[in-house]
């Protein structure tokens, strides 16, 4: 068996550690990135994982890894919400229609009460299965002199004033930006 076949045949199974609760029930109304909104949500961690939250309240931000459980299949080319004019490779964007529908968000931690975490800047659908929580550590996670590819040309300073949901971005004419 060749190496490529071994990779294809390997099974990887994850089980949710909890669920993310938000006000968003439809993908079209969900913010595309947490940095563009201040929406409040909660993480309901399964009780058996509560001890793993020890010391988490000392961090201001968290990295959430989750399963896009409502993604319907995948496509290797997608038109990203920030630039609907051009198809991009799925690995060059953060679209949910991925071969492995795993998402990542950075949120602000507001409060911890037992196994419940109150968070801000959520961009997830209500009931999204949570796979992992990691602390955001500025010294590890921030990089200097970073190129953000096609996103560098998107005038995010202007876009941040918009209601950045998929529906809103599709309705705007990006030719008016810049």
Q: What is the pLDDT of residues 59-92, one digit of tens each?
A: 999 999 999 999 899 989 988 766 667 888 989 8
Q: Which residues contact 132 (CB under 8 A, 6 or more apart)?
A: 17, 64, 65
Are 122 and 32 within 8 A, CB to CB? no
The model's pLDDT over 12-68, given as tens digits with 9 standing for 90+, comes to 999 999 999 999 998 877 777 766 678 999 999 999 999 999 999 999 999 999 999
Strands (E), the chain: 18-21, 40-45, 61-67, 77-78, 88-89, 102-113, 116-120, 128-135
**What pTM was estimated for this model as a whole?**
0.80
Q: Give percent of the chain above pLDDT 90.
A: 49
Domains of the chain plus CATH, in order, are 13-137+148-172 (2.40.30.70)
Quote the CA–CA distance of 39 and 160 in Å, as a whole number. 14
């Amino acid at each position: 068996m060749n190496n490529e076949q071994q990779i294809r045949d390997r099974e990887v199974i994850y089980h949710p550690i909890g669920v993310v609760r938000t006000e968003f029930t439809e993908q079209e109304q969900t913010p595309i990135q947490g940095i563009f909104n201040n929406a409040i949500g909660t993480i309901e961690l399964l009780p058996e994982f509560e001890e793993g939250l020890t010391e988490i309240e000392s961090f201001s931000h968290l990295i959430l890894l989750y399963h896009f459980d409502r993604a319907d299949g995948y496509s290797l080319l997608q038109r990203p919400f920030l630039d609907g004019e051009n198809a991009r490779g799925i690995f060059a964007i953060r679209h949910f229609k991925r071969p492995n529908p795993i998402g990542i968000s950075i949120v602000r931690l507001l409060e911890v009460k037992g196994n419940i975490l109150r968070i801000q800047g959520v961009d997830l659908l209500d009931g999204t299965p949570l796979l992992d929580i990691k602390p955001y550590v500025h010294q590890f996670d921030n990089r200097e002199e970073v190129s953000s590819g096609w996103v560098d040309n998107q005038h995010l300073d202007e876009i941040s004033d918009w209601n950045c949901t998929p529906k809103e971005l599709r309705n705007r004419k990006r030719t008016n930006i810049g």
